[in-house]
Amino acid sequence: MMLRLFGAFGSFSHVNRLPEHEPRKPLHTSQQIMDFVKQADYDAIEGLKIADLPLLFRRVLQLDGSGQTQAMSPLEHAFRTFDTRMWKLIRDKTYDQLDLQDEFCRQAFEGITEQGMEAIRIRHEHSENEAIEFEHLSHREYQILQEWPTILERNLPFLNPHFETLLTAYDHYQKQDRRFEMGEISKKVSEEEWRIFARTQKRVLPHYMHLMKEFSRKENDWLDEDNDYWADSASFNVLRLPPPRSGSVYVCDPRKWAIWTSLASIIQDPSWGWGTEFPLLRGGGGRISAGDPYFAGAIRMDETKFRTLYEGHKAKWITLLLELWPRLQQLNSQKQPAPQRIAEAKQEEKSSSAPRIG
């Protein structure tokens, strides 16, 4: 059962006094702001006026990858697609509005299961202890502490389709391609595997537009401060590079053709340019020609890029959850006293009313 931290979002009681030049009413609809977040349009979010900011936390109905309708706020979409730049921007935009910051905290945890919340609690309780006294832990706490990142990841509210679906597709296609090279499967089967891989890309990537933009960066943008490609850098930091403004990818058939095109033109055309089921390929930025053996290496590089981005952004979200845990406890205690506090209050009241001896 999913842990519900708060009810349907309504309005905020505390909003800073608006400057004279600020509009009194929102300039955008909730859906427009959701679209900005989905498209990873950081400039649009950065430009929001104060009256628009509460809409970042207001839920709107959305269709997920399976065609199911669900209510989700723009901020929740940023969390569930692990768009670190977006949720950090939203946090910075609302830093001086207490109610919005409280709502930011609540929505950061929204949808995490009870098992996930338990993993966060136990990890947070021991995060400041350099030497954990394991003899004081129960067997369950010990197990959770040893495996807490894995337990938490299994209980996070990811978007449908899950990005892991694409990573699995990369792995599967590469295995099938090796089988083709070894003569274990026919060319016809290999080409069908390529189309299956393409369909998975098209099903998953439009829901993770910020990763698409990162993936298609210009080659020079991939260098970190140590002049290493970020895909191979152990010190990769999702916030080290500036937000991606533009990029290009190949739409290709590895044995026939590869067409270099801008990401903007692909985003504008849901058919990805030609209405065919050929996937996107980036590689190391070098030009690719039909039949080039570099395709196999490019696919491996692409998987590395996506996996690095995925793990890096996910780690940032988990770090945020540990940071916000004390604030969540304060908010929950203000909303409704914990059972332990009620019991303690009753015990104190009973003691104070008891007759004194002596």
Residue ranges of the domains in the chain? 115-154, 164-311
User: Residue 357: which residues within 8 A CB-CB, separation 6 or more?
Assistant: none
Question: Which H or E run contains 261?
Answer: strand 257-262
Specify the residue for token string 């970190």. 224
Contact 197, 173 (CB under 8 A): yes
> What SS3 class is residue 146?
helix
Alpha-helical segments (H) within the chain? 30-38, 42-46, 74-80, 84-93, 98-109, 114-126, 139-154, 164-181, 187-204, 209-215, 263-268, 294-335, 339-353
Note if the pTM is more than 0.75: yes
Residues in CB range of 102: below 8 A, 6 or more apart: 327, 331
Residue 79 CA to residue 35 CA, distance in Å, equals 15
Walk along the chain (358 residues) and give the pLDDT tens digit of each residue: 444 443 334 444 444 444 555 667 888 999 999 999 999 999 999 999 999 999 999 999 988 777 788 899 999 999 999 999 999 999 999 999 999 999 999 999 999 999 999 999 988 887 655 455 555 677 788 788 888 888 898 898 888 889 999 999 999 999 998 998 899 999 889 888 888 888 898 889 889 999 988 888 765 555 544 444 444 443 446 666 777 777 888 777 666 667 778 888 877 776 665 445 677 888 765 555 555 556 777 888 889 888 888 888 888 999 999 999 999 999 998 875 545 544 544 454 444 444 433 3
Question: Among all chains, which residue has been given the structure tokens 């009620």?
Answer: 342
Phi, psi of 259 (to 5 degrees): -115, 120
Alpha-carbon distance of 233 to 228, in angstroms, equals 6
Phi-psi group of 273: left, alpha or beta (phi > 0 → left; psi -120 to 50 → alpha; rest → beta): left
- Structure tokens belonging to residue 213: 């933009």
* CB-based burial, 42-68: b 16+ in 10 Å, e otherwise: beebeebbbbbbbbbbbbbebeeeeee
Instruction: Please report, for residues 163, 291, 358, the alpha-carbon distance to residue 296 in angstroms, rounded to integers and kept in the order given.
Output: 21, 11, 88
- CA angle at 114 for the pair 110 and 118, rounded to the nearest 5°: 105
